[in-house]
Amino acid sequence: MVSSLLESYVVIQEAEWAGRRFCMARDRRTNQSLYLVGEKLGTLGGTYSHPNLPSLKEIGTEDQTRWWAGPVPEGDKLEDLRLQGSLSESDLLSALLSTADALLNLAATLPPMVPAYIDPACIVRDRLGRWLLDYTALAHAPEAHAKNPEPLGVYPFGVLLYWVVTGETIRRSRPQISQLESLASPGLQLVIIRCLGRSYPSLAELRAELSRAGKDREFQPLVQRFRARAQASRAEASRQLLRTPHIPLDDRPWAAPPAPRGGFSRGTMPLQYRRVQRPWKRWLGVAAVGLCAFALAAVAAVRLDLVPDEYLPTWLKTVPTVTLFPKPQPIAQPVYAGAQMLPQRVIIFLNGEDRGTAHIYTSPNHPYMEIRALNGLLGRELTWGVVANGQVVLKEGDRSLPLTTYEQVGETVWIKLLPEVQEWLGLRFQSYRGGIIHFSSRA
């Protein structure tokens, strides 16, 4: 939304409701948060100046839209005052009657701007002691845009009264009428039930009924319960503070009396001025640092294959035993640290393309793969053989590569994809996680 009229504002959030545009914005000049409301010309709107609504002033017309602007209401929220127990009976009645007056004014606009849900956090008491219904904030809530059947405002006000009594909101759930019996007087229960049942013919009659309930002191038990609950919470918080452990004077040098002007000598210094020495703390710190250094060194040694397998515990033997054969010798199965382990079936990706599945033996750094699997997945023609000196080599055409780490199973050979093997094959091993291996082609 960019125009010459609104170029001095930064729009943070915008919503459409009741044929109008509601914006939360910031003034570039004063850096203050404010509301913007836009209404099409020809709309039979209502007055935006009401003592129980945020004050808006017309700032101009542009693109067939009349714009109003006003500051965001600041003050004490009804939700916080109820939780703190600082609401009096007259304050609660004034807040409810002011909200009803604000809803009556919003219902008189065309089209009406009565929300389908009233958030207690949107009822604010400003610095002048007036209760305001921040309907511009409700315009940005999805619950407020729901269908609001006749009579307008009666059901949302009943939801607000239900929250005042029980402290629970019923936006989508059904209210529990049985909870009202022990929390509210019979007269107030009847008002809430009639609101939720939409049995009031109009919001004005509901306001009159609410005013009579206030004169009959129907809200006095609620206010007393709010105060008792807040006092109990504060008392529990104080008890928690008193349960903190006592700190001796020796550990509180800031609590010691001031030293004399001449100072103390080392021998005559009182105990409260001496620094308490605790050697066990020093040794505990040294031991913790040593354990951390040893753990890091052990992890690095295992990851870099610096520790022979026979010195590793059983739960760390995940690296296959490397057999450096002077010449090929068939074995039944690759040996994994003295235990027979089966290969894993994984999915091979080359340059992000799925090349199918294959069996591998895993190690922390490089996997073992069968030559036949490499030929099938990568479309190569790799073979293996033995040269005159008994060295096993990997062949492709007229190229060959001596193998130092391999395992022979039957008529085929499993090779470990070390960096030099990957470079010879033109591959780069990227990652292995969750049964998926990623390779990429070298440039």
CA–CA separation, 75 and 82 (whole Å) = 14
CA–CA separation, 241 and 377 (whole Å) = 68
State the average pLDDT over residues 109-116.
86
pLDDT digits (tens, 9 = 90+) for 19-78: 899 999 999 989 999 999 998 887 655 567 889 999 899 898 888 888 999 999 999 999
Judge if the upstream peptide bond of residue 151 is cis by omega within 30 degrees of 0: yes
Closest CA to 78 of 223, 237, 229: 223
CA–CA separation, 90 and 222 (whole Å) = 12
In sequence order, what are the residues at sequence separation of 6 or more whose Cβ sits closer than 8 angstroms to the Cβ of residue 79? 120, 121, 123
Closest CA to 9 of 30, 20, 21: 30
Strand-pairing partners, residue 398, are none
Residue 324 is predicted with a pLDDT of 38
CA–CA separation, 367 and 353 (whole Å) = 19
Residue position matching structure tokens 């500051």: 71
**Between β-strands 344-350 and 436-441, what pairing exists: parallel, antiparallel or unpaired?**
parallel
Strand-pairing partners, residue 37, are 22, 68
In sequence order, what are the residues at sequence separation of 6 or more whose Cβ sits closer than 8 angstroms to the Cβ of residue 441? 350, 351, 426, 427, 428
In sequence order, what are the residues at sequence separation of 6 or more whose Cβ sits closer than 8 angstroms to the Cβ of residue 25? 6, 9, 10, 11, 12, 33, 34, 35, 36
| Type of residue at 151 | P
Closest CA to 72 of 20, 108, 122, 114: 122
Residue 165 is predicted with a pLDDT of 93
| Residue 435: pLDDT band with limits 50, 70, 90 | confident
Q: 370 near 359, Cβ under 8 Å? A: yes
pLDDT digits (tens, 9 = 90+) for 252-295: 555 555 555 655 555 555 554 455 556 777 888 889 999 999 98
By residue count, the chain amounts to 443
Q: What percent of the chain has pLDDT over 90?
A: 30
CA–CA separation, 68 and 40 (whole Å) = 12
Task: Please give the residue that has the higher pLDDT: either 90 or 276.
Answer: 90
pLDDT digits (tens, 9 = 90+) for 335-349: 333 334 467 888 888
